Amino acid sequence: MNTILADENIPLVQTAFSSFGKVNTVNGRNLINADLAQVNILLVRSVTQVNAKLLANSSVNFVGTATIGFDHIDLDYLTQHNIGFANAPGSNATAAAEYVVSALLVLAERQNFKLRDKTVGIIGCGNVGSRVLQKLTALGMQCIVHDPLIQNANYVDLDTVLTADIITLHIPLEKNGNHPTYHLVDNKFLAKLKNDAILINTSRGMVINEAVLSRTLLSRPDITVVLDVWKNEPNINKLLLQQVALATPHIAGYSLDGKIRGTEMLYTKICDYFQQVSNWQPQIPPPPVNQLSFSNTIDDSVAIHTAVMACYDIRRDDSALHQIATNFDSLRKNYPLRREFNQLTIQLPPEKSTLAESLRGLGFEITIIE
């Protein structure tokens, strides 16, 4: 019988993996080598650095991360020591894309601009970036994309993407290789941003040189910044927190749907690895709001804003972080129920076909009521 140690923020981990053995949970950020005595399966999130220091002389033979990214995992070490590995690609991508939509709607309202009048530069078009592209296109926004890892004739170089009104980052953290992203956002990068630019980062904190960004914001207050990820989580830069327009505690992908999807993906992969029959199905509570109805008198932009905020209003998380920034991890651990757009059905009259198309492109379920 296996012993499983899991991050306490992985939902339903006890019920999902009880068939594999005894499941214990722990604060993933505080995990140390001594905690792994007699542990066979280790399940983590991005706050845990899984490397030789953590795993040395342990009995761990499988590591899973319930996240898209795996820059916190030393894959070479796992390979060298014949330790199995699985991640959850795409699990929280939809939630992260919905975060960007919520942020842009809030900023448009605050700054009195129309999204259709703005060009968005998407840096990184993998699981998250591709969904951002889909949703912002549904809003009628012009999008340009830069991703050196994907060969696409429609993509542009970095200098071109930085000419956009809005820049949103969806890239892995890479310190080496042909396309390093560590401190991609530096003096040179920021100097190329146009006046009144908006910069959003939901990828990894270290892709931004925070000291440079802070100094830049002092001299260029016209730049609007939205940050979900930070350099020294959970001990984030308090000055930068006050300088940015919207700040959240690394929760862009924290929909219940996304987190449970991550648990499901790990469960399936571990069943395959250990050749065990997959027989667990998650029980998910109903969404707080599951239906909205709009009449033919509703303004399309008002309807979109109302629908998005009914599912996810970024201002709530921004307010919470500003109130108790020292409790960064507590905000993550006790994160309120959040469901994705597809859990909300919107009823529309036939006259609202254009609105229906936009909402459907965002991911909402649409019912036409005659």
Residues carrying an active site annotation: 204, 233, 250
Neighbours of 120 (CB within 10 A): 25
Neighbours of 80 (CB within 10 A): 10
Neighbours of 112 (CB within 10 A): 6
- Nearest in space to 192 (alpha carbons), one of 147, 218, 148, 157: 157
Tokens of 227: 């940050």
Whole-number Å distance between alpha carbons of 248 and 314: 8
Is the torsion defined by CA of 182, 187, 191, 192 positive or negative?
negative
- Per DSSP, helices labelled H in the chain are 13-17, 52-55, 75-80, 93-111, 127-138, 158-161, 187-191, 210-219, 238-243, 256-273, 300-311, 314-323, 328-333, 353-362
- Nearest in space to 262 (alpha carbons), one of 73, 131, 89: 89
